């Protein structure tokens, strides 16, 4: 019998896949190192949400064969150790693209249509004082700059095209021909920053992307630019973003992810009215939670028992661990 630990809750539609196939499934709720070592030392697979799996814990998981992320980011697990020990790392590569793309669109529109400020104006009894509101504008025919062109970036591009926008893309790991096939324009990083009216970040967080957008990059942007991050906190330097919003270096922002999660209650971004903030929920619609739970559990089940059904593109370290397709 395969023993599977879920680090964090999963939708029942996903859990039932494991349970119906005879797996011994249990949930871990205490994420301290001592607790994880005690609970995970004899598991075959782990589903992982936002908790961290460090090398100290992984070294004690002597039977572990696969870690399946409930999502696409994996900065909360020691990737190098997994590769060294030939432990598979899976993501839910097909589940959340539409969901996150919709969230980005909602942030684009909320900020450029000043929905937050307008709502507050009405609630404050100032309906007739519309002149107090800042100028606002359309998404129609604007320049969109997408940083990262995986499934989410492509889903976003498709939705932006519905607003008759010009979509530019920077992704050094994607061939320019693929970008063009999706009716987008490949550009270099600095050019994209300069021409964009709207920017959306869809890159992983690593040494190269940390603080990828800081004061110098913010100063390249148009004064009417709207910057959205639903990828990972730390890619945009929050201190510099706060400076840019206060000093009107850019028009506004939408942030779903933070350098520290949960963010401190005295985070200066909280005091600004030209930013929309959400609590890392871009991929957490009811529909997406079901899809991600199912895909997370199928990754484990099929990797361990029936690789003919496995979506090999979800095993992101397949080549490093010698996985044969």
Q: Delimit the domains of the chain by residue range.
A: 3-95+286-314, 97-277
Q: Encode pLDDT of 95-128 as tens digits.
A: 999 999 999 999 999 999 999 999 999 999 999 9
Calculated CA dihedral for residues 99, 100, 104, 110, nearest 10 degrees: 50
CA–CA gap between residue 206 and residue 172 (Å, rounded): 15
* In the chain, % of residues over pLDDT 90: 96
Exactly one of 27, 138, 141, 261 is catalytic; name it: 261
Residue 262: φ, ψ to 5°? -70, 150
pLDDT for the residue 207: 92
| Active site annotation includes 232 | yes
Q: Encode pLDDT of 262-274 as tens digits.
A: 999 999 999 999 9
User: Which residue bears the tokens 């957008």?
Assistant: 213
Q: Report residue 93's pLDDT band, with 50, 70 and 90 as the boundaries.
A: confident
**Average pLDDT score over the chain:** 96
Q: Please say if the pLDDT value at position 134 is more than 70.
A: yes
Exactly one of 11, 151, 232, 291 is catalytic; name it: 232
207 contact partners, CB below 8 Å, separation of at least 6: none
CA–CA gap between residue 116 and residue 133 (Å, rounded): 11
pLDDT for the residue 73: 85
Q: Encode pLDDT of 155-187 as tens digits.
A: 999 999 999 999 999 999 999 999 999 999 999
H-assigned helices in the chain: 12-20, 33-40, 55-58, 79-84, 97-112, 115-123, 151-161, 176-181, 189-195, 215-220, 238-246, 286-305
CATH architecture of the domain covering 3-95+286-314: 3-Layer(aba) Sandwich (3.40)
Asked if the domains at 3-95+286-314 and 97-277 fall in one CATH topology, the answer is yes
User: Which residue bears the tokens 């020990």?
Assistant: 85
Q: Report residue 325's pLDDT band, with 50, 70 and 90 as the boundaries.
A: low
Cα dist. 295→35, 91, 224, 302 in Å? Answer: 26, 8, 39, 10
Calculated CA dihedral for residues 229, 233, 238, 240, nearest 10 degrees: -70
Higher pLDDT, 172 or 72: 172
Q: Homologous superfamily of 97-277 in CATH?
A: NAD(P)-binding Rossmann-like Domain (3.40.50.720)
Exactly one of 11, 151, 202, 280 is catalytic; name it: 280
């Amino acid at each position: 019998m395969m023993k599977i630990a879920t680090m964090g809750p999963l939708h029942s539609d996903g859990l039932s896949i494991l349970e119906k196939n005879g797996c011994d499934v249990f949930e871990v709720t205490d994420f301290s190192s001592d607790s994880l070592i005690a609970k995970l030392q004899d598991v075959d697979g782990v589903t992982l949400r936002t908790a961290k799996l460090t090398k100290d814990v992984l070294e004690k998981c002597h039977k572990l064969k696969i870690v399946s992320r409930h999502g696409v980011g994996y900065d909360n697990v020691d990737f190098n150790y997994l590769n060294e020990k030939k432990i598979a790392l899976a993501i839910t590569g097909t589940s959340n693209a539409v969901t996150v793309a919709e969230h980005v669109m909602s942030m684009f529109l909320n900020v450029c249509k000043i929905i937050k400020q307008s709502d507050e104006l009405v609630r404050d009894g100032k309906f007739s004082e519309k002149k107090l509101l800042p100028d606002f504008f359309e998404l129609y025919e604007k320049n969109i700059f997408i940083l990262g062109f995986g499934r989410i970036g492509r889903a976003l591009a498709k939705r932006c095209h519905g607003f008759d926008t010009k979509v530019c893309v920077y992704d050094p790991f994607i061939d320019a021909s693929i970008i063009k096939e999706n009716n987008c324009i490949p550009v270099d990083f600095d050019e994209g920053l300069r021409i964009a009216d709207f920017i959306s970040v869809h890159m992983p967080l690593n040494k190269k992307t940390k603080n990828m957008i800081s004061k110098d990059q913010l100063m390249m942007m148009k004064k009417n630019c709207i910057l959205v991050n639903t990828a990972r906190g730390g890619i945009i330097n929050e201190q510099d973003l706060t400076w840019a919003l206060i000093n009107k270096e850019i028009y506004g922002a939408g942030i779903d992810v933070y350098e520290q999660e949960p963010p401190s209650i005295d985070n200066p971004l909280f005091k600004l009215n030209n930013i929309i903030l959400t609590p890392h929920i871009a991929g957490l619609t009811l529909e997406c939670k079901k899809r991600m739970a199912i895909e997370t559990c199928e990754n484990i089940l099929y990797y361990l028992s029936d690789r003919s059904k496995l979506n090999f593109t979800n095993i992101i370290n397949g080549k490093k661990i010698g996985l044969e397709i």
